[in-house]
């Protein structure tokens, strides 16, 4: 009998070139060999049993050209049981090197913003990106790349099952909601999507480029938005009465 290959040794494959299952998945995921690595073949909702399985698959993913230059696939950090999911655009240099999202300067600012309202990124949030591999020179991911990676994001959201989704910057809004409005137009607006509360917020990198804190500035607006997020979180947790809507 042929020796089982470890997932890290698996070659990406299509339906007609099946992926061999890791030993532990053989019984619980009989359709493992039908999980498509080609972007031409969709990944249906409900494909993954858990986030670990999704992550294993991302690690060997070749669904788009970003796979060619990655150091690491960047899947998530934070708490898989968190009620807040934060979606960034895509890994930068530090993220690609470390295999974790938002660990560079933008990530440090994101952590500070969360901490300013008492949210602990590792406990209270699950952080991920629209694309899991770094786009060259940090360019915006193409529509093709976003489409190839979108099923992973949708599965992450389904498996984490958050109350609130924070979309950082226009790219993540466009990728998840298909809304092409500019971020300055829609930031701070609650948008209901599939039974969840989504709020577009400024990308932390944008705040790093705009350090002014005066009323009406991007940083000031972010402060309003993150307070609204905390308020909604407490409301949904049932620990504070809803605020009057006027």
Helices of type H across 105-217: 105-115, 121-124, 143-160, 169-177, 183-186, 204-209
Which of residues 7, 21, 78, 88 is near ligand URA by CB under 6 A?
88
Q: Does 156 bind ligand URA (CB under 6 A)?
A: no
| Binding of ligand URA by 197 (CB under 6 A) | no
Task: Output the residue with the shortest Cβ distance to ligand URA.
Answer: 88
Q: Which of 78, 101, 151, 218 is the binder for ligand URA (CB under 6 A)?
A: 101
Min dist. Cβ of residue 64 to ligand URA (A) = 17
By the rule CB under 6 A, 151 interacts with ligand URA: no
Q: 93 or 212: whose CB is closer to ligand URA?
A: 93
- Crossing angle, helix 169-177 and helix 143-160, to 10 degrees? 70
- Residue in the block written with tokens 């500019």: 182
* 121 Ramachandran zone, left/alpha/beta (phi>0; psi -120 to 50): alpha
Instruction: Judge contact between 225 and 187, C-beta under 8 A.
Output: yes
Please report the DSSP string for 43-107 in residue order. --TT--SSHHHHHHHHHT--SSGGGGG-SS----EE-TT-SEEEEES---HHHHHHT-SS-SHHH
Site string for ligand URA, 123-142 (x = CB under 6 A): ------x-------------
Select the residue interacting with ligand URA from 21, 32, 35, 102 (CB under 6 A).
Answer: 102
Which of 21, 78, 90, 141 touches ligand URA by CB under 6 A? 90
State how far the Cα of 197 lies from the Cα of 181, in Å rounded to an integer: 18
Asked whether 72 and 96 are in contact (CB, 8 A), the reply is yes
Asked if 91 touches ligand URA (CB under 6 A), the answer is: yes
- Least distance between ligand URA and beta carbon 206 (Å): 10
Interaction site with ligand URA (CB under 6 A): 88-92, 95, 101-102, 104, 106-107, 129
């Amino acid at each position: 009998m042929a020796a089982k290959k470890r997932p890290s040794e698996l070659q990406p494959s299509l339906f007609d070139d099946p992926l061999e299952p890791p030993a532990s998945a053989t019984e619980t995921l009989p359709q493992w060999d039908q999980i498509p690595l080609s972007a031409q073949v969709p990944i249906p909702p409900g494909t993954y049993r858990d986030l670990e399985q999704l992550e294993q698959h991302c690690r060997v993913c070749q669904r788009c050209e970003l796979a060619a230059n990655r150091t690491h696939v960047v899947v998530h950090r934070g708490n898989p049981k968190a009620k807040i999911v934060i979606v960034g655009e895509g890994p930068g240099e530090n993220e690609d090197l470390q295999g974790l999202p938002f660990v560079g300067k933008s990530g440090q600012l994101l952590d500070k913003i969360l901490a300013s309202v008492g949210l602990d990124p590792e406990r209270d949030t699950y952080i991920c990106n629209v694309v899991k591999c770094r786009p060259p020179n940090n360019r915006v991911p193409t529509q093709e790349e976003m489409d190839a990676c979108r099923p992973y994001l949708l599965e992450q959201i389904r498996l984490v099952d958050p109350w609130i989704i924070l979309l950082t910057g226009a790219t993540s809004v466009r990728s998840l909601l298909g809304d092409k409005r500019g971020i300055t137009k829609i930031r701070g607006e609650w948008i209901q999507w599939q039974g969840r509360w989504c709020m577009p917020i400024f990308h932390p990198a944008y705040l790093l480029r705009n350090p002014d804190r005066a009323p009406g500035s991007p940083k000031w607006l972010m402060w309003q938005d993150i307070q609204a997020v905390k308020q909604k979180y407490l409301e949904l947790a049932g620990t504070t009465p809803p605020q009057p809507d006027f």
